[in-house]
């Protein structure tokens, strides 16, 4: 009896984490499948590559149309959608007053390279290595 106890305990120590890991993976896969099947136009999502977009059309089985900018719709595989995210709501603190934004003037140099002027001083164009 004692000879069988040690191998049985070793098998349990190995088998229990494997079974628990498999259950966790199955639950995660089921949750992802539920997410992909519940997508509807207007949902805000993030893809696996980190792109935020709005679902434009979700009628196809394997693909989904995402609007990544106003008027720009691209087609993606459904599996590329990572998660639903909350829509971005712009508050008064986030809004930028357009009167406050000041662009620095651009001055053309003799070599037709763009040089920005900052507080009255010119910034030299980048040095080109290898030229002497």
Question: Is residue 96's pLDDT more than 90?
Answer: no
Residue labelled with tokens 């992909």: 36
* Tens-place pLDDT, residues 16-27: 989 899 999 999
* Tens-place pLDDT, residues 48-87: 999 999 999 999 989 999 999 999 999 999 999 999 998 7
Q: Is residue 84 within 8 Å of 43, Cβ to Cβ? A: yes
If 0-12 CB within 10 Å is exposed, 13-18 middle and 19+ buried, where does residue 51 land? middle
Does the pTM surpass 0.85? The reply is: no
């Amino acid at each position: 009896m004692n000879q069988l106890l040690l191998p049985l305990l070793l098998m349990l120590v190995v088998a229990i984490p494997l079974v628990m890991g498999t259950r966790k993976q199955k639950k995660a896969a089921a949750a992802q499948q539920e997410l992909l099947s519940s997508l509807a136009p207007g949902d805000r999502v993030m893809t696996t590559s980190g792109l935020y977009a709005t679902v434009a059309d979700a009628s196809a089985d394997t693909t989904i149309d995402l609007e990544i900018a106003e008027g720009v719709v691209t087609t993606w595989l459904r599996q590329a959608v990572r998660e639903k995210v909350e829509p971005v709501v712009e508050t008064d603190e986030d809004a930028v007053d357009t009167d406050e934004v000041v662009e620095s003037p651009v001055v053309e140099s003799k070599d037709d390279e763009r040089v920005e002027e900052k507080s009255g001083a010119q910034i030299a164009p980048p040095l080109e290595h290898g030229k002497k």
